[in-house]
Amino acid sequence: MWRLAVLVCALTVVPSLALAQQPCTTDATQVIEQVYRQVLERSADPGASVWVDRLSSRTTVREIVRGIAKSQEHLQRFGSQSRENMVVDVYRHLLNRGPDPEGMKNAGVFVSMRGSASLVDQLVDSPEYRERFGDWTVPGSSVRYCAGEQGSQQASSAVRRPGSRVGEDDEVFDKDHFNYLDINRNGYIDRREWDGGQSAFQRLDVNDDRRLSRGEFNGGGRVANTFASIDRDRDGRIRLDEWPWSRPAFDRQDANRDGVITQNEYRGAPAIRR
pLDDT for the residue numbered 21: 52
Q: Is 22 exposed, middle or buried (0-12, 13-18, 19+ CB in 10 A)?
A: middle
From 15-24, 106-115, 254-263, the region with the lowest mean pLDDT? 15-24
Burial class for 190, CB neighbours closer than 10 Å (0-12, 13-18, 19+) = middle
Full-prediction pTM beyond 0.75? no
Per-residue confidence (pLDDT) for residue 216, from 0 to 100: 72
Residue 1 belongs to a domain? no
Residue 139 lies in a domain: no
Q: What is the CATH number of the domain that holds 186?
A: 1.10.238
Residues 179 and 252 in one domain: yes
With a cut of 50, say whether residue 164 has pLDDT above it: no
- Of the residues 91, 110, 133, which one is the last residue of a structural domain? 133
Identify whether residues 23 and 129 lie together within a single domain: yes
- CATH number of residue 76's parent domain: 1.10.3130.20
Q: Is the pLDDT of residue 211 over 70?
A: yes
CA quadruple 164, 181, 58, 96: dihedral positive or negative?
positive
Tell me the mean pLDDT in the region 191-200: 72
Q: Which domain holds residue 85?
A: 18-133
Domain membership flag for residue 154: no
Higher per-residue confidence, 254 vs 199: 254
CB crowding 84-117: b at 16 or more within 10 Å, else e:
eebbbbbbbbbbeeebeeeeeeebbeebeeeebb
HSE value, Cβ hemisphere, 13 Å, CA-based, for 189: 26
- Domain membership of residue 215 (yes or no) is yes
Q: 39 pLDDT exceeds 90?
A: yes
* Per-residue confidence (pLDDT) for residue 9, from 0 to 100: 45
Are residues 176 and 91 part of one domain? no
